[in-house]
Structure 1
């Protein structure tokens, strides 16, 4: 019998660090999409004990994190809301669909400016803000998780390319001195 060994999407590729910027993989134990049925948003909030985030936002409370994902859809990160919202929302476990990376450091914005076609400066993209964009040619969900830190999520199948593109941009910034 073949013995399978579970690995993470970016296993063996990270961590890496250059110019004071560090790129690490984040293992998100649970990622569950929640899409409230018509007229059920308040029921979902009551069941979870947490408000659904506004477009482009995220909320965290008592170890629960909810992030806006797309119109009428949210991601529950790190907890399973299935039982609480059953019958009030469409629920999909996406835990093994995403590769999550954290880029942090004083030049993380400069690295991302070379790859993401949106303004991620702290003056416009504040902590807790989220958006859907692209990193090069890949779909990207990005959350500012700290002053100089971002969580980047793309499909698991894109993990190697995502790490390569970010590492390359880190190297280009490093070469500038």
Structure 2
């Protein structure tokens, strides 16, 4: 009987580099959708406290010791790289449904502004901010860290997202070379 081998959504694709821009995959251990039940916000806050996190304001994310909580919509967030057990929220495992891409380097915002209908300049979209927005025709969650942008896209669209970002990187790098 053949053995199945777990692969990341973008396995086999090497990081793409154009000038000082780099696109790579981030392998995430676990993604859990967290949606507090009505009136259970305090109980959820108590459950998140041992992780060093609190439920978020819209368009933001928080990270502590490799665990991240990302706002993904009204009364909803993704908990990344941690396990949470609480009766205060609807918890849904999303681990196999998403891929994470990381774009870093000078000009990363310029690349992504070709694909997102958002102003991603640092003074507008600062580190710690997140947005649920369309990456061209694909649903995504965009986060700005201190040094990069990280994007969550549906696993089924990961290679398409990769190709579109790589192409936009090429265009930005060519423009900067002029």
TM norm structure 2? 0.94
Q: Could you tell me how far apart the structure 2 residues matched to 1:111 and 1:47 are?
A: 38
Partner of 1:59: 62
**CA offset at residue 77 of structure 1?**
0.7
Query: After the TM superposition, which residues 33-112 of structure 1 pair with which residues of structure 2 at under 5 Å, given as runs?
Result: 33-49=33-49, 50-81=53-84, 83=85, 85=86, 87-112=87-112
SS at match of 1:106: coil
After TM superposition, give the deviation of residue 48 of structure 1 in Å.
1.5
Residues of 2 paired with 1:68 and 1:166: CA distance?
23
Partner residue in 2 for 1:121: 121
Cα deviation per residue 1:102-147 (whole Å; 9 max; x = unaligned)?
Answer: 0000110111111111011100111110001111111110000124
**SS of structure 2 residue aligned to 1:7:** coil
Instruction: Please give the root-mean-square deviation of Cα atoms over the aligned residues, in Å.
Output: 1.1
**Alignment partner, residue 160 of structure 1:** 159
The alpha carbon displacement at 1:14 in A equals 2.8
* In 1: Cα distance, 2:43 partner to 2:66 partner: 20
CA distance in 2, matches of 1:97, 1:131: 18
> Which ranges of structure 2 fall in alignment gaps of 5 or more residues?
none
Report if aligned partners of 1:44, 1:89 keep a CA contact under 8 Å in 2.
yes
Q: How many residues align?
A: 173
Q: For 2:67 and 2:3, locate their aligned partners in 1 and report how far apart those are by CA, in whole Å.
A: 34
Q: Is the 8 A contact 1:101 1:152 kept in 2?
A: yes
Residue 134 of structure 2 aligns to a residue whose secondary structure is: strand
- Once the two structures are TM-superposed, the CA of residue 2 in structure 1 deviates from its matched residue by 1.3
